[in-house]
Structure formats: structure tokens, C-alpha cells
Amino acid sequence: MAIKRDDFPLPDVDDPLTTPFFAGAARGELLIPRCETCGEYVWYPQEACPRDGGGLTWSAVSGRGTLFTWAVVRRAFLPAFADRVPFVTALVALDEDPAVRLCTYVVDTAPEQLVADAPVAVCFRPLEFTTVPGRSVIVPMFTLT
Ligand SMILES: [Zn+2]
């Protein structure tokens, strides 16, 4: 399926499944959907709890976690990323529930410093691309603590 949004690769902040996530990030809050019935976190966002069908409420979490895995991207496969390389993309396991793994960026850190399970903390930064001038989206990124 071809992506036809003219602001790609910015995230689609108007998708109803993820609008609260990006609205929270814009306010400096990391929000994760949590089941109103069983209390478990549900990630990735979906319509209902996959365990019991319960409704979901976006809940603030601490923003602390550990580095589950990462990749140092040194070659841009899309023109939008040409001026961003090298960068670190990662999966961060949240302290509240390590099964919740956010696909994110690790910033302000030399790649050589990264080790598995390293403690990290969220920060909120604008995601911008020169191919989408004048637009940015605040997203959760992580730094080593
Ligand atoms: Zn549930």
C-alpha cells in the first residue's frame, strides 16, 4: 500500500487510534492505553483490550524504561532521512510493563554507549523533516539516564 499523505514521514496525528498519544506528547506526557476491566496496558493502540474486550483509557506512565534493542541507522533509504543519519532507532520497554515496547529514537547519546537493558527516560522532541517544511510533530524520544 502506497503512503499518499503529503506530510509523510511525519506520523499521522489525525488517526483516531493514536490522536491521544500525540496530544499527550505535545503536553509532555507519555500516554499508553490501559484496559478499564483488567488494568493491563495495551500496546500497540487498538479499539479494545485483546484479553477481555474491555474499553481503553489513555493513562500517563513514568517515561522510564530500559533499552530492549536498537539499530544505528547510517544510510538513509528515503530522502527525508538524508540529513538525519546517523541516528538511533530503538525499542524501549516501559518500567510499568516491559511488554510495552515503544518504537522510538534514542537521542543525545553516542551509539557506542548503548547496551541492552540500559535505563532510559523519555524526552519530548519535535520530529521534523526538510521534505515537509514548516511542519513538525512532538514525539516521545529517549535518553540514557
Ligand atoms: Zn483487559
User: How do residues 10-55 score in pLDDT, each as one tens digit?
Assistant: 999 999 999 999 999 999 999 999 999 999 999 999 999 999 999 9
pLDDT for the residue 6 = 86
10 in a structural domain: no
72 in a structural domain: yes
Residue burial 39-63, b: 16+ Cβ < 10 Å; e: rest: ebbbbebeeebeeeebebeebebeb
Residues 9/78, Cβ–Cβ less than 8 Å:
yes
Give the Cα separation of 20 and 58 in Å (integer): 7
| Averaged confidence pLDDT in the chain | 95
1 in a structural domain: no
Q: Can you give the residue range of the structural domain that contains 36?
A: 19-144
- For residues 115 and 6, the model is more confident at 115
For residue 117, report the distance from its CA to the centre of ligand 1, in Å: 27
pLDDT for the residue 4 = 79
116 in a structural domain: yes
The domain total for the chain is 1
Give the Cα separation of 106 and 89 in Å (integer): 6
For residue 48, report the distance from its CA to the centre of ligand 1, in Å: 8
**Looking at the predicted structure, is the pLDDT value of residue 1 above 80?**
no
58 in a structural domain: yes
For residue 52, report the distance from its CA to the centre of ligand 1, in Å: 5
Average pLDDT for 87-98 = 97
3 in a structural domain: no
47 in a structural domain: yes
**Looking at the predicted structure, is the pLDDT value of residue 3 above 80?**
no
Residue with cell 474499553: 55
Q: Provide φ and ψ at 14, rounded to 5°.
A: -95, 0
